[in-house]
Amino acid sequence: MSLTKEEIKHIADLAKLRFTDEELEKFSGEFNSILDYISQIKECDTTGIEFEHNLDTFDGDVLQEDITRPSLSRDEVLENATNGRSKNGYVRTSKIVSKE
pLDDT, one tens digit per residue, over 5-14 is 889 889 888 9
Distance CA 85, CA 27 (A): 38
Strand partners, 86: 91
pLDDT tens column, 35-91: 898 888 888 888 888 776 666 666 676 778 888 899 988 888 888 777 777 778 888
pLDDT class of 100 with cuts at 50, 70, 90: low
Look at residue 26 and tell me whether its pLDDT is greater than 70.
Answer: yes
**Cβ contacts of residue 14 below 8 Å, gap of 6+?**
100
Note the Cα 5 to chain centre separation in Å: 22
Its pTM surpasses 0.75: no
Distance CA 67, CA 4 (A): 48
The answer to whether residues 2 and 28 touch, using CB atoms and an 8 Å cutoff, is no
pLDDT of residue 86: 79
CATH of domain 5-43: 1.10.20
Q: In the chain, what are the domain boundaries?
A: 5-43
The answer to whether residues 91 and 81 touch, using CB atoms and an 8 Å cutoff, is yes
